[in-house]
Amino acid sequence: MLFDELGLRVELLNAIKSKGYTTPTPIQARVIPAILSGRDILARAQTGTGKTDAFALPLVELLSQGNHNRRHPRALILVPTRELALQVGDSIKAYGRRVSIRCSVVYGGVNIDPQVDRLKRGIDILVATPGRLLDLAGHRAVNLAQIEFLVFDEADRMLDLGFSKEISEVLEMVPEDRRTMLFSATYTQQIRDLAKIMLTEPEYIEVTPSNTAAESIVQKIHLVNKSHKRDLLIHLILQGRWRQVLVFVRTKFGANKLTERLVERGIIAEALHGNKSQSFRTRTLKEFKNGQIHILVATDVAARGLDITNLPHVVNYDIPQIPEDYIHRIGRTGRAGVSGIALSLVSPEERGYLKAIEGLLKEKIPQEEVSGFTIGGAVPDFVLLRPNNPASEKKADKEILEIVNQRKISKERGKAPEANKAYVKKPDTRKPAGRKTDTRKPDPRKPDTRKPDTRRPDTRKPDTRRPDTRKPDTRKPDTRRPDTRKPDTRRPDTRKPDTRRPDTRRPDTRKPGEKINSRDSWKDEKSGKKPSRPGARSPQSPKKGRPGRGKA
C-alpha cells in the first residue's frame, strides 16, 4: 500500500515525500483510514513504528476541510513528557504549514506568559502535557469547549506517572460530542478501563504482539560486577569508536557521576534528567542529534518520546526494575526498520530484573563475554588475580592468594591481618574505682510545668541582602542644646500670588538731597522751561531763512 491510496490531499502527500517516506508503516496503514472514516481508535504498537504520523496526518486532513475558527483549538493532543510534546509538535507543524493549520505546544518547566500570548492569537491544534494544560485553564487562557478531536499519546506512560487525576479533569472540560483516539506502546488493564470511559464503539488496532521488541533491534547482555560497569562501558566506547550512544541509568545522581567519569576520559558526554532546565534539555537533545555530543546519559524521563534518526546504540547501564520500561528504552534504536544494538550491563544483583524481562519477552537474551571485564570471561595477563574466578586463582601466585585470604579473614573478624592468632582475654587488674558518694543536696526547685511552645515556626525567608560595607560614622556627637522653641501654630499664608507685571521704569538717578517739584519736574531748573529735545532749535539762535529777508 502507498500513501496515495489513503485518501490524503496532495499537499500532505508532498510533505510526506519531502520527509523521504514512500510506504506507510503497518500502524499507519490501518489507523489513518479508520480516523478518516470517523471512528474512535484504540491502537497499540511498539515504539518507533510511526504512531505520531498515524494520527497527525488524518487530523490535519480533517481540520483543513472544515471552517477555520482559530480563536479556540479544535484538536487536543495530550502527551506525558516535554520531549514527546516537542516531537509531536514538530511533526504536526511540518504537515500543518502546508494547509494553513496552526499548532502550538505547551509544557511545564518554562515561563507561561509566552504560551498565553501564543494561545490568544488563535490555533487549531494544541499539544500539551496535562499539568501545564490545567495551569492554562486556571488562568482562563485556553478554552476546550470547541474540541472536536482528543488524542492520548503514550497513555500508559501518563498513568504510570500519576496523571490519572489530571486526565479526569481534562475530560470534564472537553465536550462529550467528540472523537477520541488512544495510543499506547503497552496494553494494561488500566488502559482498558480508561478506554471504556472515553471511547465510543472504538476500533481496536494492534499490529504487533504485546510486549515485544522490534525485530530490527539486536539485543545483548554482559554479566559484569557493579564496580566494573563503568570501565567496561568506557572500553566498549573507545574500542568500538562509538559516536552516538544513549545510556540509561536509574538515578539522577548516577547520571551526573557517570557523565563526569566519561568526560575525564576524554569522551564528549552530557547528562539528561528531570533536574535539568527545559532550555538545557532542548539544547542537549539538539546537539546529540547533530552529533556534537557523542554519549547522552539519561534517566527514564527520556525513555519515551525521543525520536533520533538512525541511533545505532542503546546501553542499559542499570537494568530497569519494571520490565515494560526495558521495551521503551531499547525502542529508541532500530526505528523505521533501521537496525540498532541494545546492550545491557547486568550485575549479579540485577539478575532478578533480567529474569523478569526475559519472561516478558518470552525469550532469552544472548549473552556475550568481554575479555577482562565480564564474569566468567578470560582474564587478561596483566590482571594478577580476579576473586571468585577459578581460572584466575589457578594462575595466580601463592603469595598473592595468601594476602587475599588474610584480608578476607580480617574483614570477617574485624581485625588487622597481623592479629590472626587466637585471642585470649587477659584478666582485669585495674584497681576498683574509689569514687565518693554523692553528697549533693537534692534540687529544691519546682519542676517545669510550663506548657510547650505551640507557636508556629518561623517560616520567613533568610535575609539575603548584601551586608552594609559603609565606613562607620566617626563624627563627634552633637552637643548643642536641643531646640525647645514651640512649633509655629500660625495659619499658613493662603493669599494668592502677585500676578501684576513687573515695574519696567528707569531707576531714579537723582542725587541725595535733591528736591524736584512733582508738578514741574519736567522743567529746567535755571530757565524754568522744558528742556530742548536733541536737535531742536535754541531760542537764542536766529531764525533761519532766505538771505536778505530777515528783520532790519
Q: What average pLDDT does range 147-172 have in this prediction?
A: 87
pLDDT greater than 50 at residue 420: no
Q: Are 106 and 115 in contact (CB under 8 A)?
A: yes
Which of 260, 300, 255 is closest to 157 using CA atoms? 300
Domains in the chain and their CATH numbers?
Answer: 3-206 (3.40.50.300), 217-361 (3.40.50.300), 381-413 (no CATH)
Q: How far is 546 from 234, CA to CA, in rounded Å?
A: 134
**Structure confidence at residue 376 (pLDDT):** 65
Between residues 72 and 306, the one the model is more confident about: 72
**Structure confidence at residue 397 (pLDDT):** 74
Q: What is the per-residue DSSP string for 155-202?
A: HHHHHHTT-HHHHHHHHHHS-SSSEEEEEESS--HHHHHHHHHH-SSP
530: pLDDT confidence band, cut at 50, 70 and 90? low
Q: What angle do CA 224, 229, 235 make, to 5 degrees?
A: 105
**Structure confidence at residue 116 (pLDDT):** 92
Q: What angle do CA 47, 292, 333 make, to 5 degrees?
A: 20
pLDDT greater than 60 at residue 532: no
Q: Helix, strand, coil proportions of the chain in percent (round to 5)?
A: 35, 10, 55
**Structure confidence at residue 57 (pLDDT):** 93
**Structure confidence at residue 89 (pLDDT):** 92
pLDDT greater than 70 at residue 519: no
Pick the most confident of 48-52, 172-176, 395-399, 443-447: 172-176
77: pLDDT confidence band, cut at 50, 70 and 90? very high
Lowest mean pLDDT among 301-310, 316-325, 403-412, 478-487: 301-310
Backbone angles phi, psi at 471, to 5 degrees: -70, 150
Pseudo-torsion of CA 23, 28, 32, 34, nearest 10°?
130
Average pLDDT in the chain:
81
Backbone angles phi, psi at 346, to 5 degrees: -110, 120
**Structure confidence at residue 450 (pLDDT):** 84
Q: How far is 360 from 323, CA to CA, in rounded Å?
A: 7
Contacts of 186 (CB under 8 A, 6+ apart): 44, 156, 210, 211, 324, 327
269: pLDDT confidence band, cut at 50, 70 and 90? very high
Supply the pTM of this predicted model: 0.58
Tens-place pLDDT, residues 103-143 = 999 998 889 999 999 999 889 999 999 999 999 999 889 99
Backbone angles phi, psi at 105, to 5 degrees: -120, 130
Q: Residue 104 pairs with which residues in a beta bridge?
A: 126
416: pLDDT confidence band, cut at 50, 70 and 90? very low
**Structure confidence at residue 544 (pLDDT):** 53
**Structure confidence at residue 267 (pLDDT):** 92
Residue 1 has which C-alpha cell?
A: 500500500
Q: What average pLDDT does range 248-253 have in this prediction?
A: 91
**Structure confidence at residue 423 (pLDDT):** 47
Tell me the percentage of the chain whose pLDDT exceeds 90: 27
Which of 294, 285, 353 is closest to 318 using CA atoms? 353
Tens-place pLDDT, residues 365-398 = 999 888 878 876 655 555 666 666 666 677 777 7
Q: What average pLDDT does range 284-297 have in this prediction?
A: 89
- Beta strand pairing call for 75-78 and 125-128: parallel
Q: What average pLDDT does range 336-364 have in this prediction?
A: 88
